[in-house]
Amino acid sequence: MSGFDGFTPEGLDFLRGLAAHNDRDWFAENRAVYDDQLKPGLAALITATSEAMAARGLPLAGDPKSSQFRLHRDTRFSKDKRPYKTHVSGSLTRDGERMSPGMVYIHIEPEPPAALDPLDLAEGPHGHGPFAAAGFYLDERADIDAIRRAIADDPDGWAAVEAALTTKGLTLDDGAPVKRLPKGFEDQAGKPVEAAVKRTRWIVSQSLTEDQVRSSDLPEIIADLVARARPLLDFGWCALDRA
């Protein structure tokens, strides 16, 4: 497997410092740690995790450079003008493109100093500690409706997905549901899949510890999550491919 040896304590300390001093001067003074440790570490993780996926027959992969998300925040339309994210992250997808539907997302940051509420992606993933998430975080309404339609047309198949996830110790995240059944799905009112059809995303996640983040075993830990989430990914990919 490619040379991922775990993220360094210095790299995680850099992210702690960036959270406390999120300004361009501090970043400029300390960016050598980011350039020399965090970016190469994330690149090695993406490569090693892609290899771990291939070894398990899981159709997810990433590019060590283009699969990384930028550290700089887009502040154009945000009241929060802090220039930098306080985590590093990347994704693996079926075609290797960073935001293709159906992915594993890898989020690396220090563990929070105190216990927080469970991960809620609706509020943004930062500040919750390191984690990996697999599933469908979709932007296009057509893609969202394709999965909704598959659920509505095959409620038994969807029930089997949920049961398989439960058996593997996984629970679907909240899913950012809409309050009312979307147009075209009104006939699902009162049916067992009503809540699933109201979702706008279908994701499972796993918190990571700093010991895991610093371990060379991290690619296998992430690949194991994807293997357990495979029924969800297969269901969603089949729905999108049919659409």
In this predicted model, what pLDDT tens digit does every residue of 5-52 receive, in sequence order?
A: 999 999 999 999 999 999 999 999 999 999 999 999 999 999 999 999
Task: Report, as an integer, the average pLDDT of 213-217.
Answer: 97
Residue 128 placed within a domain: yes
Q: Say how many domains are in the chain.
A: 1
Residue 168 placed within a domain: yes
Residue 221 placed within a domain: yes
Residue 4 placed within a domain: no
Percentage of residues of the chain with pLDDT beyond 70: 93
Residue 3 placed within a domain: no
The whole-angstrom separation of Cα 46 and Cα 41 is 9
Which pLDDT value is given to residue 124?
53
Who contacts 22 (Cβ-Cβ below 8 Å, separation ≥6)?
82, 83, 84, 86
The whole-angstrom separation of Cα 73 and Cα 86 is 10
pTM comes to: 0.92
Cα–Cα distances in angstroms (integers) from residue 175 to residues 62, 76, 163, 196, in the given order: 25, 27, 17, 8
Report the chain's mean pLDDT, rounded to a whole number.
93
Which pLDDT value is given to residue 27?
97
Residue 1 placed within a domain: no
Domain that holds residue 227: 9-242
Residue 100 placed within a domain: yes
Residue 231 placed within a domain: yes
